[in-house]
Structure 1
Amino acid sequence: MSKLKAYRFPLILISSIIIGSIIGLIFGEKASVIKPFGDLFLNLLFMVVVPLVFFSITSAVANMDSMRRLGKIMGSMITIFIITGIIASVTMLVAVIIIPIGVGADIPLETPENVEALTLSNQLVSTFTVPDFVDLFSRKNMLALIVFSVLIGVATGLTGEAGKPFARFLESGSEVFMKIIQLIMYYAPIGLGAYFAALIGDFGGELISDYAQAFIVYYPVAFLYFAIGFTLYAFIAGGKKGVKRFWTNILTPAATALGTGSSFATLPVNLQAAKKIGVPKDIRETVLPLGATIHMDGSCLSSMLKIAFVFGVFNMEFNGISTFLTAIGISLMAGVVMSGIPGGGFIGEMVIVTFYGLPIQALPIISAIGVVVDPPATMVNATGDTVASMLVTRHLEGKDWMDEIVD
């Protein structure tokens, strides 16, 4: 009974998604009438994400014992992000080699309007900075907000005694916004059920059309990577106890990500899960917000799938070590630049089209794949951040980190 109680809320969320899916399948596009209930839940989460990210990162950095600690966290985090991204890309590469996709596909080619050319320098500037302070209050500029939050945290820590009252304010703000998330989650079963009903009602037909191949390959691979890969990562991070704590607490973030299609909407729930798992405050409040933007194993999986699919559509040879290594690199890059909001994969898709010199008509093809695979991709993206924070903690705190009491 105690184990069942621990899984009670995640099971309620999963049940609401299943019920919503059934409603979507039965009523089709008519199910969109209840979509506003899902939008309400998503908007509530997005409404609180910006201040939550600001307070969580600034308080974590400001209260670190030293800047050396921050450097260690960042170094370990980036290394783990890259390694797990490569593993995800290779996993999907093996899958599409075994089951070729896109071959013989009959997909109409439509040129999208108003496609702007992207340069690397402009992309970097607009990604990490904004021209005006008020622009930081938009979730479209999350990396810029994260950079600003880190600077505020560092400045607060370096100020010394005079900065301690402000540090306490930041920590208090972080706790207050986490409590707001707990209140919002009471509405989650209704919101997720309604959102998923509308999603299945609108796009259920796509899954039995020309994109069935992508669906058939991606969904099993994504769920297997989630179940097997993350279990392995959790075991490396904390042994059997790590696996148990991970699976006891990860289902709520997984269900939230699956239903909302947003890593940032899942971030508040992820922070709660990481705390219950035992990840220290400074690690979870640094790794998870950054991970919601630059650590996307699910996007690496989908990018590899898109590359293989578009190669098949244009009758290009998808074989050879150089082709595979290039695809892995592109998948990793696309996973890094993708935003953590619904539809944010467009920039990553532009990277794929631009790098391979594909005709612009390839963009709507891979964009449609993104729509089909978005729910499980987001689930893997979001929950991958949680297990990554466990791996960072294992590296920095040692093998016995799970035995310590976490604030």
Structure 2
Amino acid sequence: MEKKKFKMGLVPKLIIAIILGILFGQFLPEGFCRLVVTLSGFFSNFLKFVIPLMILAYVTMGIADLSQGAGKLLLITVALAYSSTLIAGSASFLVAESLFPSFMSADALDQIAATAEVSLSPYFTIAIQPVMDTLSAVVLAFVLGLCLSSMRGKEIGDTLYNAMKDFSSIIDKVLHTVIIPLLPLYICGTFTDMTISGKTFAILGILWKVFIVVIAMHLICITIQFIIAGSISKKNPLTLIKNQLPGYATALGTQSSAATIPVNLQCAANDGVCEQIRNFVVPLCANIHMAGSMITITACATAVCLMNQLPISLATVVPFIMTLGVAMVASPGAPGGSIMTALPFLYMVFGTTAGDPNGPICAIMVALYITQDSFGTACNISGDNAIGVIVDTIYHKFIIKETQEA
């Protein structure tokens, strides 16, 4: 009898990559760390090139295959994602406003600011310009998917549909033979950079209480989302959360919702979400559902305001959250993309002077956010699959039934 080969799962590989990254940054020479960051940078640039193509392929085919109720499902998914983002951000402010004043310290400013723009530079980089940005890919996928869904077999033939199907298969091949196997390298480089530049330990040592509160809010948010999804779909929330662990671990290391799409699609399949729905909802929500990022940004903004005695209230935070809920659609392709997208709008909370994107207050905000970005991203993509379970239930219980009765 042939012996079964041992195959290490993705989660253990990701955990090992994180640990190695911290150890490299802490104990090995800078020259070696720069080599790791350089290799990670090559992969990162290739990933940024592939991400818009992935979104175009998956979202287009996801919508095109929904011959029944595609427009309704798109509207439902967008409404769920935006509502989740708004509620998460508002709740984050209320929690932060209640807890942070008791342990905020103004003398932490200088120490945090010192790590705001510190990063380990690679030996060299190879620029690979994406064919389009993520927002353009989402819009084009909407147009193609909705038109194919409504026109195929009536006003047009199957030529374009088959071409997009083949294109989707090519992207699948790239993801499973290149992207997923090299994810641990990407994660290792990220944590090596964060450790050697002081980001990992500086902020943990100074504002660890803020860090713990924010992570706790992320975990509570994930739990609530899966409880709601489980209640609607009649599935065990604990099983749904367990299925999400590979996606959560991947997002924790990549700090990118878009980069986690291939793993998150596997998690959705384990949740029993049908192929059409998961190929539509997961890539879409990776770009529009930002509950975790909004929790982090709102909490960090509240912390910075308290540290600098700047006035802040729910009346100023809610318009800020509503604006970012739309603006951050273009941000999930890169680690820290959400906070970079938020910078031009921070004046809505900090005021015109303190909210200068190039000023020290915003630099502190960036440093606080980046260190917690991976947890926010993990919360984002976990919520994506909770939405996927809900949309899948609505699709099978109501939309298909409604179409059959008509």
Alpha-carbon distance in 2 for matches of 1:230, 1:26? 40
Which string of whole-angstrom CA distances, capped at 9 and with x for unpartnered residues, describes residues 326-346 of structure 1?
424423432442211223222
Tell me the residue number matched to 2:224.
229
Question: In the alignment, residue 335 of structure 2 is paired with which amino acid?
Answer: P
* Map of 1:330 onto structure 2: 320
Q: 1: distance between equivalents of 2:374 and 2:59?
A: 27
- On the 8 A contact 2:61/2:280 being kept in 1, the answer is no
Matches within 5 A, 1:274-285: 274-285=268-279
Q: CA deviation at 1:212?
A: 4.4
The residue aligned with 1:342 is: 335
Shift of 1:301: 0.6
Other-structure match for 1:85:
85
| CA spacing shift, 1:82–1:55, aligned 2, 3 Å | closer
Q: Give the one of 187, 201, 207 matched to 2:182.
A: 187
SS of the residue 1:374 aligns to = helix
Matched, 1:382 2:376: no
Asked if the contact 1:181/1:269 (under 8 Å) is kept, the reply is no
Equivalent residue, structure 1, for 2:195: 200
Inter-CA distance 105–328: structure 2 relative to 1 (3 Å threshold) = farther
Deviating more after overlay: 32-41 vs 22-31: 22-31
SS of 1:316 mapped into structure 2? coil
Q: CA deviation at 1:377?
A: 1.3
Q: 1:395 to 1:177 in 2, by over 3 A?
A: same
Give 1:73 shift: 0.9
Please name the residue that 1:129 is paired with: none
Given the alignment, which residue of 288, 300, 320 partners 2:282?
A: 288
Pair 1:28–1:91, CA change in 2 (3 A) = farther
Tell me how many residue pairs correspond in the alignment.
363
Deviation at 1:35, TM superposition (A): 1.6
Q: Paired residue for 2:158, among 139, 164, 168?
A: 164
Secondary structure of 1:144 counterpart: helix
**Per-residue deviation, 1:154:** 2.8
Farther-moved stretch of structure 1 (197-206 vs 178-187): 197-206
CA pair 105-293 structure 1, distance change in 2 beyond 3 A: farther
- Cα shift at 1:57: 1.9
1:210 positional shift:
4.9
Alignment of 1:4-403 (within 5 A): 8-27=9-28, 31-66=33-68, 69-96=69-96, 97-100=98-101, 102-107=104-109, 137-138=131-132, 141-161=133-153, 162-184=156-178, 185-202=180-197, 203-208=199-204, 210-226=206-222, 228-241=223-236, 243-248=238-243, 250-318=244-312, 323-338=313-328, 339-340=331-332, 341-344=334-337, 345-354=339-348, 356-359=350-353, 360=356, 361=359, 362-398=361-397
TM superposition shift of 1:372: 1.9
Instruction: State the Cα deviation string for residues 93-139 of structure 1 (Å, max 9, x = none).
Output: 343112326552453589x9xxxxxxxxxxxxxxxxxxxxxx9823x
Deviation at 1:364, TM superposition (A): 1.7
- Normalising by structure 1, what TM-score? 0.78
How far residue 308 of structure 1 moved from its aligned partner, in angstroms, is 0.9
Other-structure match for 2:123 = none
Are the structure 2 counterparts of residues 368 and 149 from structure 1 closer, same or farther at C-alpha, using a change threshold of 3 Å?
same
Question: Which amino acid in 1 is paired with 2:83?
Answer: I
Task: Give the direction of change, closer, same or farther, for the CA distance of 1:169–1:89 in structure 2 (3 Å limit).
Answer: same
- Contact 2:251–2:257 (CA<8 Å) still a contact in 1? yes
Taking the aligned partners of 1:136 and 1:8, their CA distance within structure 2 comes to 30
**Would you say the 8 A contact 2:70–2:146 is kept in 1?**
no
Return the offset for 1:253: 2.0
C-alpha deviation, 1:242, in angstroms:
5.4
Say if 1:16 and 1:192, in contact at 8 Å, map to a contact too. Answer: yes
- The answer to whether the Cα contact below 8 Å between 2:255 and 2:373 also exists between their aligned partners in 1 is yes
> Are residues 15 and 336 of structure 1, via their aligned partners in 2, closer, same or farther at CA, if it must alter by over 3 Å?
farther
SS at match of 1:65: coil
Offset of 1:88 from its aligned partner?
1.9
Distance (whole Å) between structure 2 residues aligned to residue 9 and residue 328 of structure 1: 38
String of CA shifts for 1:321-368, please: whole Å, max 9, x gaps: xx2254244234324422112232222132122455242233222122
Greater CA deviation, 334-343 or 142-151?
Answer: 334-343
For residues 255-307 of structure 1, what are the alpha-carbon distances to aligned partners after superposition, in whole Å with 9 as ceiling and x for unaligned?
A: 22111111111123222322332223333233222222221111111121122
C-alpha deviation, 1:245, in angstroms: 4.3
Alignment correspondent of 1:124? none
Q: Can you give the 5+ residue segments of structure 1 that lack an aligned partner in the other structure?
A: 113-134, 402-407
Could you tell me how far 1:246 is from its partner in structure 2? 4.5
Matching residue's letter, 1:244: T
What RMSD in Å do the two structures reach over aligned CA positions? 3.1
Offset at residue 376 of structure 1 (A): 0.9
Check conservation: 1:35, 1:198, Cα contact below 8 A: yes
Deviation at 1:223, TM superposition (A): 3.7
Residue pair 1:335, 1:348 contacting (<8 A) in 2 also: no
In 2, Cα distance between the equivalents of 1:201 and 1:232?
Answer: 39
Amino acid at match of 2:200: G
